[in-house]
Amino acid sequence: MSDKTSIETWKELAEKQLRGKPLDSLNKTTPEGIEIKPLYTAKDLENIEFNNSMPGQEPFVRGPMATMYAGRPWTIRQYAGFSTAKESNDFYRKNLAAGQMGLSVAFDLPTHRGYDSDHPRVSGDIGKAGVAIDSVEDMKILFNEIPLDKMSVSMTMNGAVLPILAGYIVAAEEQGVKHDQLKGTIQNDILKEYLTRNTYIYPPKPSMRIISDIMAFCSKEMPGFNTISISGYHMMEAGADSVLQTAFTLADGLEYVKAALSSGMDIDVFAPRLSFFFGIGMNFFMDIAMLRAARFLWAELMSQFNPKNPKSKMLRTHCQTSGWSLTQQDPYNNIIRTTLECMSAVLGGTQSLHTNSFDEAVGLPTETSARVARNTQIIVQEESQVCNVVDPLGGSYYVESLTQSIVDKVREILTEIDELGGMAKAIESGMPKMRIEEVSARRQARIDQGTDTIVGVNKYLVEDEVHIEVREVSEEVRDEQIARLEQMKKDRDNDKVKDALNQITKAAEADGNLLEACLAATRARASAGEISDAMEKVFGRYVATTQCISGVYAAESGNSELVESLRKRTKDFKEKTGRRPRILLVKMGQDGHDRGVKIIATAYADFGFDVDLSPMFQTPEEAARIAVENDVHIVGVSSLAAGHKTLVPSLIKALKKEDASDIKVLVGGVIPPGDYDFLKDVGVVDIFGPGVPVTDSANRTLNAIGA
């Protein structure tokens, strides 16, 4: 018998198979900075802090519930909403009949930003990226024939959380449903809006007060309703890796806990109703470990407040598969991506899940693609046998070690945030936002170089483009919304509405509960925009400072020939014309997704462009004026919310009105291929859909201005 250990024997075998290459050449370092070895053994469990953890018991690494899916499967949700309340209601009822278990409502961008559909700033956004809700009348239609005493409803709403939550409550009242019968979640996570999604309305301080008021009201009136869903999803979509997503999400949660405590609430009154929302991408084991680490760390963070109820330390979460990982190229590959992400969320121990539809890289889900997405979960739940065992990966050498590595990395960032004075102060410093944008730019550079493989985009490309059906929202939706809004205002008691709105303003000035005031106004038929405006009189509307990083894309690219050739082209342009090529990058309408435009800004600056980045939420007329004042050669419009067919033609008209027809316009983002001809016919010089390498887009941009 050999005296060698099994590990030593394995090393010998592995080195033979590597034919002289060192064994550590198999080691990988993740974007999170975690070193991954090719083999994990029992020795890797020696320093694990949670070796004896059990499901349902602190620190909840193996799941918040003792029996997990063996006792009850996760809730199948589909995040959906588009066009009018009636169309969305039809869609919901079909999905519920087909096996969906709960509703997750997506609202359109004007609703998120506190604007009614008749506001002049929102003409291109109504019903495009979610359902338009202007009043409780819309909310009643949205939930028509859906019993709110039985249905769990999740609403992704942050900026206009008060009028939307009030509309839901009043719609339930008018169904005959009592407050304490309502079940579900309101996202109500404003801090991440200042980091990534940007659908804020008010500055941070009054926004935090709104959260406390909602917690206080619901803890008394709606004990079965989750008053906040602390979200890392949009951080992931903006480019955060798993460590950053975990750290910043937990830091946001800690900030909300401290705000509730400072308002006089008891930890055990509100903490058991906190929930979380994580994004799940294509790093399969990393995201499994992320959910496990998040539960461990949340229990640790909450222990400092000495709760008596164990549920106050329990992290419960909803998850959603990545939208960013979906590709326009070879789109049926997205079904496979979503299935892998679904399994990752399930093996990580999520409480509910939304799986994205394969066509969301080009538009809103169709009924067919939504059915495939929903059935992905049903098949995993019903056919894979994964629900038979509680935490099937518990004790895995790799998963347990990876979980500990994430815990260690997240603790470092949480300490850094604490030294800055907490997450609110960290956000003011710009640290979290810049950290996410740096990781995002590095990731894009690796994709463009082919270092990170995206099948169908930078490897295994197909020559023939696959045509898929795209759901399009009619431009008539705005007319329908405005007509219903006008009718409601005609039928209501306007003096009563005026008095109710004044009470909201007074509550904002003093310390009255804002949700209670908004409920009274909603019952009187005040619109969501009117309610938002009543608070804006006191709080003001927040305007973010627009900035971007530089040097990151080029640094990750190293001595790339493509980057050097682009720098030569911009240098030659300067020698020829006397100045560098100048581009204005602009987000028009109410779309707050800025990952793409920030990546373009930092990369183009590294290539030698002069880059102007406009403030968020511009009208076409405002964008045209900035372009003229900055004397740019070209305007790059970033679009992810389907407003391009309205906003881009308006921009081109506005440039003509400014006698600036020589300024070229190009468009990038989520643009259905069927819209390309329309955009080119109105004067767009080029279009960059999802998956176009940044270096390719820069070359084509230079071609467009004759460089």
288, 317 Cβ separation under 8 angstroms: no
Q: Which long-range contacts (CB under 8 A, 24 or more apart) does 676-685 make?
A: 678/645, 679/644, 679/645, 679/648, 682/648, 682/649, 682/652, 683/649, 683/652, 684/648, 684/652, 685/634
Joined tokens for residue 532: 């938002």
Which residue in 234, 354, 409, 598 is the catalytic one?
Answer: 234
What pTM value is reported for the model? 0.91
> Per residue in 605-619, is it b (16+ CB within 10 Å) or e — as a string?
bbbbbbbbbbebbbb
276, 285 Cβ separation under 8 angstroms: no
Which residue in 69, 79, 115, 200 is the catalytic one?
Answer: 79
Mean pLDDT of each 10-residue bin along the chain, 707 residues long: 76 90 92 95 94 94 97 86 82 82 87 95 87 96 93 93 98 97 94 90 94 92 92 94 98 94 91 94 98 98 97 96 92 97 98 93 84 95 97 97 98 97 92 93 91 93 79 80 95 97 97 96 98 97 81 82 93 95 94 88 94 92 96 92 85 96 93 90 94 93 93
Instruction: Give Cβ neighbours of residue 527 (< 8 Å, ≥ 6 apart).
Output: 116, 134, 135, 163, 485, 488, 489
Respond yes or no: is residue 79 known to be catalytic.
Answer: yes
d(CA 460, CA 71): 42
Joined tokens for residue 336: 């496979």
Respond yes or no: is residue 398 known to be catalytic.
Answer: no
Which residue in 115, 200, 233, 604 is the catalytic one?
Answer: 233
Respond yes or no: is residue 593 known to be catalytic.
Answer: yes
Joined tokens for residue 401: 């070690």
Q: What does the pLDDT read at residue 1?
A: 44
Which residue in 593, 598, 644, 645 is the catalytic one?
Answer: 593
Give the E-state strand segments of 524-633 in sequence order: 582-586, 610-613
**Does residue 59 have a cis peptide bond before it, meaning omega lies within 30 degrees of 0?**
yes
Respond yes or no: is residue 587 known to be catalytic.
Answer: yes
Which residue in 318, 587, 633, 644 is the catalytic one?
Answer: 587
Q: What does the pLDDT read at residue 641?
A: 67
d(CA 169, CA 148): 9
User: What's the full length of the chain, in residues?
Assistant: 707
Which residue in 116, 189, 591, 606 is the catalytic one?
Answer: 591
**Cα angle: 445, vertex 589, 131; to 5 degrees:** 100
* φ, ψ dihedrals at 658, nearest 5°: -85, 10
DSSP codes joined into one string, 12-32? HHHHHHHTT--GGGG-EE-TT
Respond yes or no: is residue 233 known to be catalytic.
Answer: yes
Q: What does the pLDDT read at residue 2?
A: 57
Respond yes or no: is residue 234 known to be catalytic.
Answer: yes
Q: Cα dihedral sign for 257, 261, 265, 266?
A: positive
Q: What does the pLDDT read at residue 3?
A: 63
SS (H, E, C) 276-343: EEEEECCCHHHHHHHHHHHHHHHHHHHHCCCCCCHHHHCCCEEEEECCCCCCCCCCCHHHHHHHHHHH
